[in-house]
Structure 1
């Protein structure tokens, strides 16, 4: 699997998404420092919210294969300026979290992440599991066996579905 670093505001769902991607039981846990897991780097929201701490995110991004910018579907504004993803020398994907919230607007959050330069943008609910397999599928590398596959499935050819920009 490609290693992903998750960045976003406090309480946008980074740690919960980390737990869902690992198949763990979802429980609230405040991230106090940068946590390295096998294929996920979970960062505190304060790092993205504070300019002096944000520099650390730039350094930790070098340890990942993919940068994931998270935006909660109920956010009233975007933390990310337009085209900010172009400053990164890694693929930058967008992840709209908490899409099952009644007060959420996943379409607006999706547009904000696209304006930031994220390609592709995924919509996930860590509690219902919606969208989690798409993120895992994006992170997979040749030979990786995902939890719902068998060893025989790992080597078979796959149908690739692209988004409107021609990328997976």
Structure 2
């Protein structure tokens, strides 16, 4: 699997997505430092929100194959400036989170990620698991075998536990 680093503001769903991608039960956990797991790097939101800490994200992006810019579908604004994608020499994807929330506007969030330079964008809900399997499939490399072939198989994997 390609290694994914997650960038985004606090409470946009980075840790929840990390738990879902790793097949863990979702529980609230405030990320206070960079967590470097097997194929996922989870970063604190403050690093993306604070200019003096943002350089750490650039350094840690070298540990990953893919940079994931997360933006919640309930955000009133985007923290990403236009065309930020070229600032890293890694593949950059956009991930719209919290699409299952009643006040969600995933179309707006997706447009903001496009403005940031993301060409590949995923819409996901870590709670319903909708769209999450597409990220795993995207990260799959030749020879990787996953126990699902579509979203229904992926969700069934979680409900069987």
- Whether TM-score is above 0.5 comes out as yes
Partner in structure 1 of residue 3 of structure 2: 3
Distance of 2:147 and 2:15 partners within structure 1: 20
User: For each residue in 1:76-100, what CA deviation from the matched residue of structure 2 results, as whole angstroms up to 9, or x when unmatched?
Assistant: 0000011000111001000000000
What is the CA deviation profile of residues 42-77 of structure 1, one whole-angstrom value per residue up to 9, with x for unaligned ones?
A: 000000000000000000000000000000000000
**Is the counterpart of residue 21 in structure 1 residue 16 in structure 2?**
no
> How far off its partner does 1:147 sit?
2.6
The reply to whether residue 101 of structure 1 matches residue 129 of structure 2 is no
- Return the offset for 1:40: 0.1
Name the count of aligned residue pairs: 149
1:145 aligns to 2:148 (yes or no): no
Classify the secondary structure of the residue corresponding to 1:52. Answer: helix
1:48-63 correspondence to structure 2 within 5 Å: 48-63=48-63
Structure-2 separation of matches of 1:55 and 1:20: 27
Aligned mates of 2:57, 2:12 — CA distance in 1: 16
* Match in the other structure for 2:156: none
Aligned position for 1:121: 121
**Regions of 4+ moved over 3 Å:** none
Structure 1, unpaired ranges of 5+: 150-168
Unaligned runs of 5+ residues in structure 2 are 150-161
Query: What is the CA–CA distance in structure 1 between the aligned matches of 2:90 and 2:40, rounded to whole Å?
Result: 15
Report the RMSD for the aligned CA atoms in angstroms.
Answer: 0.7
Task: Tell me the distance in 2 between the aligned counterparts of 1:102 and 1:146.
Answer: 32
Q: Residue 110 of structure 1 aligns with which residue?
A: 110
